[in-house]
Amino acid sequence: MKKILVTGGAGYIGSHTLIELIENTGCEVISADNYSNSAAKTYERVKEITGKVVKHYDIDLCDGNAVGKMMQENKDIDGVIHFAAFKSVPESIEQPLLYYHNNIVSLINILAYRIPNFIFSSSCSVYGNIEKLPVNESTPLNAISPYGYTKQVGERLIQDFTRSNTRIKAVALRYFNPVGAHVSGNIGEVPLQRPANLVPIITQTAIGKLKETTVFGNDYNTRDGSCIRDYVHVSDIARAHVDAITYLNENNDAPPYSVFNLGTGSGVSVLELINTFEKVSGHKLNYRIGGRREGDVASIYSDISLAKKILGWTPKYSLEDMMLSAWKWELNMKSGV
């Protein structure tokens, strides 16, 4: 492939994917981001790790004119990895119109240019509350939050689009809970506001940025009462996006639209995650038990056998690796590295 556009490339998973693309493919990489939940400095960190400058566009993908100008300047794009979206479940419940507008309009604006290889950043939230575990790609979709439903709608939109545009092939990657940071400790998750994801809340509590971590519910029907999730290292997730776009580019007989789960295939409770962090960091975490949070499912973890079989992808990092890398990143941010 000659050139790949990564939307949301300054974000958490997007930036790690830029690194994977630069280090493991021969293609040119460009990025677009409006820094709604990221920072332009991320591109400097990517350069420090890879030695490459990423050409990037500071645009809102809901702005059709701005997208058009970017595409006019890059007519040779032959692959898109689309991350750009708002992603907080609680915020989506409070501001559903914001999420429907941003996540759907930006997707439509990118699809309109009919780039032949398209990778969509989806989410396990499309499944909602499920009755049978582990979750596989045939599990019925029943998103229970506006955020999750924007991903469900996005998947359907892409599937319909590939049916009517035979030169376009797409993969939707439903990943579970990306955590951790690059092994260098020089790039990781940087929430601009109070973090919504559990692991940065844990590390920010441990380092003193936050007073405490709240465990939302300890009365679920799980082994210790706290929610169970499938946590997977962000670099494993990033590598899966590279595997997916390589798969589309190298397999002419690939179906027009495919879906793959990305996780580790096992569930970890919130309390188990906290205990693992305390073990690898040597810090006792200040946390309290709170009430259940609207929109949360009790337990979900993945069946990743299809991604292993078709994409040749398998996660490499352990839970201890995930938590230690996240802590290393937090310490480096404090020291100004």
Place of tokens 């400097």: 44
Domains of the chain: 3-181+232-263+302-316 (3.40.50.720)
Cβ-count burial of 331 within 10 angstroms (0-12 exposed, 13-18 middle, 19+ buried)? middle
Above 60 in pLDDT, residue 27?
yes
Instruction: Please report how the helices 198-207 and 270-281 are oriented relative to each other, as an axis angle in degrees rounded to 10.
Output: 40
pLDDT of residue 197: 85
Q: Note the pLDDT tens digit of each residue in 201-220.
A: 999 999 999 999 999 999 99
pLDDT level of residue 224 (50, 70, 90 thresholds): very high
Q: Note the pLDDT tens digit of each residue in 263-316.
A: 999 999 999 999 999 999 999 999 999 999 877 888 889 999 999 999 999 999
Give the chain's mean pLDDT: 95
Above 70 in pLDDT, residue 337?
no
The mean pLDDT of 179-196, rounded to a whole number, is 87
Place of tokens 């790949």: 4
Cα separations in angstroms, 93 against 117, 124, 144, 153, 175: 32, 17, 10, 16, 21
Q: Note the pLDDT tens digit of each residue in 106-148.
A: 999 999 999 999 999 999 999 988 888 999 999 999 999 999 9
Do 228 and 222 contact (CB within 8 A), yes or no? yes
pTM of the model: 0.94
Other CB atoms within a 10 A radius of the CB of residue 336 amount to: 5
pLDDT of residue 329: 95
287 carries an active-site annotation: no
| Catalytic option among 43, 57, 147, 247 | 147
pLDDT level of residue 50 (50, 70, 90 thresholds): very high
pLDDT of residue 336: 62
